[in-house]
Amino acid sequence: FAHVQCNCFMGLLPTIQRGWVTIDTEIYFWNYETGGDLAYYEGLAEVVLSVGLVIPKPGVFQPHIKFLLVVCTASEVVVLGVTFESEGDDLYALMHLQPNPFVLLVL
């Protein structure tokens, strides 16, 4: 964390067994059950202040979008699609973030 300039936040998303940490404008996710599957998102221009996960209404998004990641900065709310690859019985083995936001609200 030597390169943190402004803010660092962290939390858990127990529904998908992921921990997350933000370092300024970047977000990192990992599977806290296995310690693996590192996912990363850096498509924001401002410091990330909050992260949340929601289940989309059925039929609104394509079926492979299992969750929506809501990311808030001081001036934006960004909604990203979250997909998974399963391995055996683990439905959430490999996490993928869609690179382009579904929604970008400027506050």
Whether 7 has a pLDDT exceeding 90, the answer reads no
**pTM, entire model:** 0.88
CA distances from 15 to 20, 54, 97, 99 (A): 13, 10, 16, 21
User: Among all chains, which residue has been given the structure tokens 């410091």?
Assistant: 47
d(CA 94, CA 107): 32
pLDDT score at 3: 59
Name the β-bridge partners of 28. 21, 40
Q: Beta strand 8-13 with 103-106: parallel, antiparallel or unpaired?
A: unpaired
Place of tokens 């998908």: 16
Give me the amino acid identity at 52: G
Chain segment 11-59, per-residue pLDDT in tens? 999 999 999 999 999 999 999 999 989 999 999 989 999 999 999 999 9
Could you tell me which residues come within 8 angstroms of residue 64 by beta carbon, excluding any fewer than 6 positions away?
A: 83
Mean pLDDT of the 68-80 span: 95
Give the amino acid at 49.
L
Instruction: Look at residue 94 and tell me whether its pLDDT is greater than 80.
Output: yes
